[in-house]
Amino acid sequence: MFSEGPLCKHAVMDPREVMQATAGKLGDIGAAFYFAPDTLQRGKDAGLDGFRFYFLGRGGVLGDVEAGVVRAAFGYFEPGLVEKIWNSAKEVMAPRDAARLYIACAHDLGRAAFAGIDGLDGFLDAASTVIGAVEGASLPLFEAVRCEPVPADAAAAAMHQAMVLRELRGSVHLLALTACGLETRHAHGIKRPEAVKMFGYEAEIEVTEGDRAKWLRAEELTDEILTPAYDHLSAGQAAALVAATDAMHAAITAE
């Protein structure tokens, strides 16, 4: 249960309630820069198309690794696609350089979208508490992103930490899938059946009721694994995280 100071006026939220209120929106926020026009242009200026900038930029925090390492960190994608895109992309730019450029695109989008939003300091306090409470073992992509420097200005920092929280949940989700015995290929067939070709698969991915049961268990296990980190939040921090996430999500989805 969240701790609550004597002067706190916020209702106590269960850690899972906080995750339910923020996980999907943080996923959207943390990925908002991936294929944004400015990101695509900066990738193009560096000689990388959108897909190659995505792979090299997001995976580049891992360093100049083999494609199989990136596929393990990302999950879901067909291995041959990862190998083709990753290897051709890193011929153009060093992975760590691409990662820094990609993350800078995230920061710039945060500055543009979140300027003037109230509560960013509270969001950063709460997000940093969750991020700092995770050991990081078995979560290499999350740990690599967590090691990247956080900007000093609140708007860029909020986008940065939303990105880190997205990678945290995504990395834990992959761990949960493995623990439940479900291949990420089948998980993709359940979660995004309309996007199998975009992820490199040539045919529809057949899934069974057993696969779906494992998927549901993996979703539950993801929350179970993350609960101790979110349990470090005070009631005020939890409320600040939810409120700011709502405001940030509204900002990036506004027409």
Give the domain extent around 40. Answer: 15-253
Q: How does pLDDT run across 52-100, given as a tens digit for each residue?
A: 999 999 999 999 999 999 999 999 999 999 999 999 999 999 999 999 9
Q: Is residue 2 part of a domain?
A: no
Q: Is the dihedral of CA 76, 80, 85, 90 positive or negative?
A: positive
Give me the chain's average pLDDT, please: 95
CA dist list (Å): 75 to 39, 89, 237:
23, 19, 31
Residue 106 in domain: yes
Q: What pLDDT, on the 0 to 100 scale, is given for residue 255?
A: 55
pLDDT (tens digit, 9 = 90+) per residue, 215-227? 999 999 999 999 9
Bridge partner residues of 234 (DSSP) = 3
Residue 1 in domain: no
Total number of domains constituting the chain: 1
Q: Are 27 and 252 in contact (CB under 8 A)?
A: no
Longest dimension (CA), the chain: 58
Asked whether residue 10 is assigned to any structural domain, the reply reads: no
Assigned domain for 47 exists: yes
With 70 as the cut, is the pLDDT of residue 3 above it? no
Q: Which of the 8 DSSP states describes residue 12?
A: P
| pTM given for the model | 0.94
In a domain, residue 121? The reply is: yes
Inside any domain, residue 223: yes
Confirm whether 63 is domain-assigned: yes
